[in-house]
Structures are given as structure tokens and as C-alpha cells.
């Protein structure tokens, strides 16, 4: 009888880059990948924040370093990533939102959200993929999308546009990068309690509206995403590419 061995979720010997890693989802992703054995580079614009986060991971006996990086400077980021050893894993997490009624959206709102959520994410993934291809290495690119890349939402027309775009280019990446053994997927969280979302969720009416759509009856936490990120980064997801992993508490189920 053929003995089957389950693939490992361990990431020992792999290098991971996490953008927007100083807090919230990015910090949770970095912590999870480090716990699974990866050497994690935490990237963000704020040096103090990511250096402190890297030290905290190191204090737990895991491997981490900080990289001050502005992903909206696509040329500068490409140079920095190109000069590094290849990253086997990318968690493309840096993002923003400016909730505004559709009829009140200004060009600067649109540009700020699209610049970070689409343009910077696209070219960060490109830089990591180029380095992997040059080195002849396999990899896993995890783009942090949203349930709003699958549905619409009031006051979120630009954010929805950015995440629907990310869902599209992730699938196109999967098609092109598959022959290079580079897997490309998205995770699509519901509302997660983070420093970015807290100002909105502090509004009782908004919080109640959100909770009414989450079938599990609670908001998400960064910890809720950690297992999914390790899964997509690991050999356990070896046949998974061009997919969206919905971590939405059932928001999109109806």
C-alpha cells in the first residue's frame, strides 16, 4: 500500500518579504512566517516601527530583519529588491483606504489609493518575481486583497476598484509565472481590527452594520489570517495558484 506523507507547513531555509510590516496584518504575517521557520524581512517606510517589530521577533528566537522601503517609489524599491538575495515568499500587504461617498471622491483620493494598492503592489510583485526567475527559484507571492475585491460596498468605490484590480492582476501573474514555479494567490479578509480600521469601527452604527454581514458574528483579528498566510507560503499549497482565499467570516456567502 502506498504511504502518503502530508506536505509540511514549515518554511525553514526560506526568505520572506512582508510589506507594510510594522503593524496590523503585515506584522501578523511576518510573525507567522518567522514562527514557521522563514527568515523574514519586514519592510515599511517607518524605520522605528519595523526595527522594533524585527527585534521582537528576534527576541522570540526567530529570524528577522528590517528594511526601510517606500513601495510607492517603484524604481527605488525595484533596485533594493533586486540587490537582495531572492525572496522565496512575498506578502504584498502595504495598502490604504479613503472611505468616501462615490459622488465626493476627489482625484487625489483616487490617486492615493490606486498608487499604493495597485501600482505599488503590482511592481513590488514584479520585482520579487524577476529576482526569482533570474535565480531559477520557485516562490509564493501572496497579495493581500479584500472581500471588497469580490463585492461592492458603500463609500468604498475606490478601494473596491483597487482590490478588484489586484484580483485580476494576480490571476494574470499566475498564468505567466506558473511555468517558473512561482505561485500567486490572494487572501481576502473581511474587516480586521487594526490601527487602520479602528477609527471606522469605533463608530457604533458602522460596526453594527459590518457585524450584521459577517455570518460568524464577529470582526476578524490579524491572528485569524496567520494560518492562511503560512499555508499559501508553504508546500501544503503546492498546487494552488491564481486563487483567492476568502477569510471573510461568510460575508460573501450570500
- The single residue of 122, 123, 159, 191 carrying the catalytic annotation is 159
Alpha carbon 170 to its chain's center: 12
**CB-neighbour burial class of residue 70 (10 A; exposed 0-12, middle 13-18, buried 19+):** middle
Confirm whether 159 is a catalytic residue: yes
| Residues in Cβ contact with 123 at an 8 Å cutoff, skipping those fewer than 6 apart | 71, 74, 77, 78
Place of cell 507560503: 233
Residue 158: name the closest of 242, 102, 216, 219 by CA.
102
Contacts of 202 (CB under 8 A, 6+ apart): none
Return the active site residues: 159
Amino acid at each position: 500500500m502506498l504511504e502518503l506523507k502530508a506536505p509540511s507547513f514549515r518554511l525553514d531555509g526560506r526568505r520572506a518579504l512582508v510589506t507594510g510590516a510594522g503593524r496590523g496584518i503585515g506584522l501578523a504575517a511576518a510573525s507567522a512566517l518567522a514562527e514557521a521557520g522563514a527568515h523574514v524581512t519586514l519592510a515599511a517606510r517607518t524605520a522605528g516601527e519595523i526595527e522594533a517589530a524585527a527585534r521582537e521577533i528576534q527576541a522570540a528566537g526567530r529570524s528577522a530583519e528590517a528594511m526601510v522601503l517606500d513601495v510607492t517609489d517603484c524604481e527605488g524599491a525595484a533596485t533594493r529588491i533586486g540587490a537582495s538575495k531572492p525572496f522565496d515568499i512575498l506578502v504584498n500587504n502595504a495598502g490604504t483606504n479613503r472611505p468616501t461617498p462615490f459622488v465626493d471622491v476627489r482625484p487625489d483620493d483616487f490617486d492615493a489609493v490606486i498608487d499604493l494598492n495597485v501600482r505599488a503592489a503590482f511592481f513590488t510583485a514584479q520585482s520579487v518575481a524577476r529576482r526569482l526567475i533570474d535565480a531559477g527559484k520557485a516562490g509564493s507571492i501572496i497579495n493581500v486583497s479584500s472581500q471588497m475585491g469580490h463585492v461592492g460596498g458603500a463609500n468604498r468605490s475606490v478601494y473596491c476598484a483597487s482590490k478588484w484590480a489586484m484580483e485580476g492582476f494576480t490571476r494574470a501573474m499566475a498564468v505567466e509565472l506558473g511555468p517558473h514555479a512561482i505561485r500567486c494567490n490572494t487572501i481576502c479578509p473581511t474587516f480586521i481590527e487594526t490601527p487602520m480600521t479602528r477609527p471606522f469601527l469605533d463608530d457604533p452604527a458602522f460596526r453594527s452594520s459590518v457585524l450584521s454581514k459577517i455570518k460568524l458574528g464577529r470582526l476578524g483579528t490579524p491572528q485569524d489570517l496567520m494560518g492562511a498566510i503560512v499555508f499559501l507560503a508553504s508546500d501544503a499549497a503546492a498546487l494552488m495558484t491564481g486563487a483567492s482565499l476568502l477569510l471573510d467570516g461568510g460575508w460573501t456567502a450570500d
